[in-house]
Chains A and B, each alone.
Chain A
């Protein structure tokens, strides 16, 4: 029965910052075990949308349901239940500076699930191995890691609690093409092994093509196109066409101040 409804359903989502309307009626469904990638220019509200689903930002209007449970305006208990289902890889990895790598990875297990340190460390090392990092990395501090290693640790932390949904915020930003491909492979592998639903946001079309089942484009506060990865190269939509080919000329005008 649950398979008939989307894992995440977003309807009419509106979010403003002062007078600036960032999301202006977003509608999107993400199915069970589906990997959806949101593309769109900088400042179009992709990260804001993720933060609304996570409950980090409160939208002005609209509905967000996770497993049929309304998140917008929900109480503490519902928010906590929903947030336990979700893992997130942040753009800059957002690792806690004051903790070692393994403590970062097992943070959710120890703090939210009350797991003991010995068992949590064992799981953290397993998750680090799953993203290609050895035990020697576990005791390092985040400041000692390269950008690619930080992303891997962030990914290990996101999957440590075996979440049902994983959000990826710009998983390949700031990485070289080879490391980007490594991260893309890890994202695909992790989502597949966990049987999780994935929602990613990226500017990187190579990444989007690799990790998505379906791509949606956000522009001017709305989803202007959504469809399977294979269809994106044949879309009769000037906005999508301009974005995926990275052309300066077209209907999308970038705000450039002299």
Chain B
């Protein structure tokens, strides 16, 4: 009986959490769509998410592309299909690895920082102060971050795609001895617009998820430094899990036959 009660309680807490996140998302979207708009804040967040994440995302994409070329070569060599390396690299990077790796890296960098900043504002009553100064915290804090996350992740992933493919090219040419012209031809031969578009759609969704989780957990943090720490961890973990779940769902929508 005690076990069933515990399972029931966990399930109810889970449903409650889903309800709270849904309500938070609805309120946040409403404030994204209605004035006043804090354009300068959106710009600052775009800079933070897009520009300042470039080095870490670029480096990750470069090495991902490189290792992908190396691994697929050793695998395909077993059945003499080495020529497919360039195609495998470009499809894997644009469809999956670019958006997922960039999403996870940005979740660690930006999701954590959003949760920590908003969480600290919550526990030091700065969010209450915003309300007393006739400023809606959703409009001032949440909406700019959501807009910036949604718009900047696709741009970041586009750059990551290019760098990832370039990483594969470097290994293909200088390590595996492919002919540069053949490698490039193979790269673009089987690449379709939908491969890139699906990756960019994923990136937009992931950017929204990262900002949403950072803002949600920060906004609801409680109990001083420990609460802010917990909010930061929750933001990164929940964003990472949701990225993987939505990655599958979007792949189903685009490519399932």
Q: Which of B124, B125, B128, B135 contacts A107 (CB 8 A)?
A: B135
CA distance A157 to B128 in the complex (A): 14
Taking a contact as CB atoms under 8 Å apart, the answer to whether A86 and B125 are in contact is no
Q: How far is the CA of A11 from the CA of B120 in the complex (A)?
A: 34
Q: Is B181 an interface residue (CB 8 A)?
A: no
Contact B129 A86, beta carbon cutoff 8 Å = no
Using Cβ atoms and an 8 Å threshold, which residues of chain A touch B128? Answer: 51, 54, 56, 90, 94
Within 121-159 of B, Cβ neighbours of A (below 8 Å) are at 121, 124-126, 128-129, 131-135, 140
Most chain A CB atoms below 10 A, which of B124, B129, B131, B133:
B133
Q: Which A residues from 94 to 152 make CB contacts under 8 A with B?
A: 94-97, 107-108, 111-112
Whether A87 lies near B134 (C-beta < 8 A) is: no
Say yes or no for A12: interface residue by CB 8 A criterion.
Answer: no
Q: Which residues of B contact A107 (CB under 8 A)?
A: 133, 135
Which listed residue, A91, A92, A112, A157, touches B135 by the CB 8 Å rule?
A112
Asked whether A108 lies within 8 Å of B125 as measured between CB atoms, the reply is: no
A44 within 8 A of B: no
- A86 touching B132 by the CB < 8 A rule? yes
Contact of A92 among B125, B132, B134 (CB under 8 A): B125
Q: How far is the CA of A92 from the CA of B127 in the complex (A)?
A: 13
Chain A residues with Cβ below 8 Å from B120 are: 97
Query: In the complex, what distance in Å separates the CA atom of A92 from the CA atom of B123?
Result: 10
Instruction: Enumerate chain B residues within 8 angstroms of A112, measured Cβ to Cβ.
Output: 133-135
User: Is A39 close to B, CB under 8 A?
Assistant: no
Given A92-B124, A94-B124, A96-B126: A54 and B132 interface contact (C-beta under 8 Å): yes
Binary per-residue interface labels of chain A (30-58) against chain B in the complex, 1 for a CB within 8 Å, 0 otherwise: 00000000000000000000010011100
Cα distance A112–B139 in the bound complex, in angstroms: 12
Min distance, Cβ B123 to any Cβ of chain A, angstroms: 10
Task: Return chain A residues, CB-CB under 8 Å to B121.
Answer: 96-97
Cα–Cα distance between A95 and B132 once the two chains are bound (Å): 12
Partner of A84, one of B124, B125, B134: B134
* Contact-residue bracket for chain B: 10 to 19
Q: Determine the distance from Cα of A111 to Cα of B131 in the docked complex, in whole angstroms.
A: 11
Query: B120, B121, B131 — which one has the most chain A CB atoms within 10 A of its CB?
Result: B131
Contact status B134-A111, CB under 8 Å: yes
Min distance, Cβ B114 to any Cβ of chain A, angstroms: 13
Closest to B140 in A: A111
Query: Considering the chains assembled together, what is the distance between the CA atoms of A96 and B124 in angstroms?
Result: 9
- Complex: how many Å from CA A112 to CA B132? 10
Contact A80–B134 (Cβ < 8 Å): yes
Known interface pairs A92-B124, A94-B124. Does A83 touch B129 (Cβ–Cβ under 8 Å)?
no
The reply to whether A108 and B134 form a contact with Cβ atoms under 8 Å apart is: yes
CB distance A56 to B135 under 8 Å? no
CA distance in complex: A91, B123 (Å): 12
The CA of A11 and the CA of B234, in the complex, are separated in Å by: 40
**Which single residue of chain B is at the shortest CB-CB distance from A96?**
B126
**Among B124, B133, B140, which residue has its beta carbon within 8 angstroms of that of A108?**
B133
Interfacial chain B residues near A87, Cβ < 8 Å: 132
Residue of B129, B132, B135 ringed by the most chain A CB atoms within 10 A: B132
Min CB distance A89 to B, Å, is 10
Whether A88 is near chain B, meaning CB under 8 Å from some CB there, is: yes
Q: In the complex, are the beta carbons of A56 and B134 less than 8 A apart?
A: no
Residues of A within 8 A of B129 (CB): 88, 90, 94-96
Q: State the CA gap A51–B128 with chains docked (Å).
A: 9
Residue of B nearest to A76 (CB): B136
Nearest Cβ on chain B to A159's Cβ, whole angstroms = 12
Q: Which of B124, B125, B126, B133 contacts A111 (CB 8 A)?
A: B133
Q: A54-B132, A83-B131, A108-B135 are in contact. List 10 more A-B contacts (CB 8 A).
A: A54-B131, A56-B132, A80-B134, A90-B129, A94-B126, A94-B129, A95-B126, A96-B126, A97-B121, A112-B135
Residues of B bordering A, CB below 8 Å = 120-121, 124-126, 128-129, 131-135, 140
Show 29 residue pairs from A and B whose CB-CB distance is below 8 angstroms, ordered by the A residue: A54-B128, A54-B131, A54-B132, A55-B131, A56-B131, A56-B132, A83-B131, A87-B132, A88-B129, A90-B125, A90-B128, A90-B129, A92-B124, A92-B125, A94-B125, A94-B126, A95-B129, A96-B126, A97-B120, A97-B126, A107-B135, A108-B133, A108-B134, A111-B134, A111-B135, A111-B140, A112-B134, A112-B135, A157-B133
